[in-house]
Structure 1
């Protein structure tokens, strides 16, 4: 697809869509709305559920309004479209260790450097970036990444502090939901921007009827599942989609396994 069309479908950061990050006190607890029940009645709380403290300890909130996951104690993995370029950068604050962004227990660490995927916005794809922190996030577990396509299927978990509905405000509390894998063929058949899906670099997930999805402000956050050892592994990075939770319009994620070697190499140089 064209660059302009693709950019308009990004799960943009809060800053990109609103000019500033707005945290809502007790907003609807949903990373995305669940599908309607068979009788057409929506659940009482539209959306997923709040994550428990410590449930996904490697989740990171970035001050430009994106999400991320702690890849090493001092490096956050996020989306390339959340940052502008590779180079020294001390303007980003990472918030870690809490589900409530207003908690007095939150750990806040400034960035020192950003590495943006050199293949981002090219025909080979690569919507990923690394943010080096000024100091290690001591005592916080990291999230390993998928190095093979073995886990690019099944049901995935998603989490973030982004909007609970399309165009909605950012959330105070970390919210979670689950979405099923969508094949490349089905994803491309959604039409529009999806016809330009880069099969080797992107992975889709969502319900045919919509209702569950990541949304604006969730960019850069992980899509993850358990591996064969029962450990969490990151298989996707929130990238783009047409709107949020629309029927027939799944979420599109950077396929982490495709870029695992490049990610590891870049991290080793930071």
Structure 2
């Protein structure tokens, strides 16, 4: 599945202004060339789904694929929740196209919409707070929404992650939606992986993976959801694919925005009509 700073499997959101500007320029050049492979890549970490399986048709109807090569989830019919590093460098939101309601983005039955605006998490600087909302011109009515966790109880255990990211490090993105199962990794163990992991923001990020490696999100999965059933059996989103070093490497889990830390902020932003 996706993303990238994984080489990082997703990349750690940009660490300084110079890198941020370079990422923004690269994105704009890709858009101007109308490159179908263009995707956001904010830094040394990246994400996608490695070691997973194809998602059954209709299984995750709230999954959204964004045209810059990121994923997202349908938060409201007109709003997509994704990673800040996917959209922070986008100057014209109308360049973004969202596709949903299908495991195959080329499906003629898929719902599509261009974006009209993006809202990046206030204070986002590439270190934590990696969430954003994308407002759609045409609301995707009729599709189920993915509710956010209302607390931290679901932040442990076994999760599912989905996306259209690469299925091997530095490989092409998957043409079909894929899914994988990963387990919670505690903050101390995650930070002990060294490298970029020493900069983990425990209050805002959570880690998940497989100790022996082989299963992970990857380049192109960034912005997609990490989810699981809560105590009542309702599937809730607990994370957003953010970054990681490489993809599916032993001892290097994926790092996800911890949704429970931002549920109220996201709700406030979603209710604000001024952006």
Tell me, yes or no, whether TM beats 0.5.
Answer: yes
| Long gaps (5+) in structure 1 | 1-5, 24-29, 34-47
Which of structures 1 and 2 has the larger relative contact order (alpha carbons within 8 angstroms, sep 6+)?
Answer: 2
Counterpart residue number, 2:214:
211
Over residues 178-207 of structure 1, what are the superposed CA-to-partner deviations in whole Å (9 max), with x where a residue is unaligned? 000000000011011101100000000001
Shift of residue 87 of structure 1? 7.8
TM-score by length of 1: 0.84
TM-score calculated relative to the size of structure 2: 0.82
- CA shift, 1:127, in A, is 0.2
Measure the CA separation in 2 of the matches of 1:21 and 1:177: 25
2:114 — aligned with what? 110
Tell me what 2:153 maps to. 150
List alignment gaps of at least 5 residues for structure 2. Answer: 14-25, 39-47
CA distance, structure 2, for counterparts of residue 10 and residue 32 of structure 1:
10
8 Å contact kept, 2:101–2:143: yes
Alpha-carbon RMSD across the aligned residues, in angstroms, is 2.3
Among 164, 168, 172, which residue is 1:165 paired with? 168
Q: Tell me which residue corresponds to 1:95.
A: 99
Match of 2:229 in 1: 226
Q: How many residues align?
A: 242
- CA deviations 1:200-230 (Å, max 9, x no partner) are 0000000111110000000000000011221
Q: Write out per-residue CA displacement over residues 85-124 of structure 1, whole angstroms, 9 at most, x where no aligned residue.
A: 598621110001110111111111010110001121266x
- In the other structure, the counterpart of 2:19 is none
Residues of 1 paired with 2:198 and 2:161: CA distance? 24
Pick closer, same or farther for the CA change 1:226–1:7 going to 2, 3 Å.
closer
User: In structure 2, how many angstroms separate the alpha carbons of the residues matched to 1:268 and 1:190?
Assistant: 39
User: 1:37-73: per-residue Cα shift (whole Å, max 9, x none)?
Assistant: xxxxxxxxxxx21111110110000001000000011
Q: Distance in 2 between matches of 1:86 and 1:31?
A: 24
Contact preservation (8 Å) 1:112, 1:134:
yes
Q: How far apart in 2 are the matches of 1:166 and 1:210?
A: 12
Structure 1 segments of 4+ aligned residues over 4 angstroms from their partners: 85-88
Alignment of 1:169-248 (within 5 A): 169-248=172-251
Alpha-carbon distance between aligned partners in 2 of 1:21 and 1:245, rounded to the nearest angstrom: 25
What residue in structure 2 maps to residue 9 of structure 1? Answer: 8
CA distance in 1, matches of 2:69, 2:49: 14
Q: Distance in 2 between matches of 1:243 and 1:158?
A: 17
Deviations 1:212-259 (A, max 9, x none): 000000000000001122111000000000010000000000000001
- Distance in 2 (CA, whole Å) between partners of 1:69 and 1:144 is 9
Query: How far did 1:84 drift?
Result: 2.3
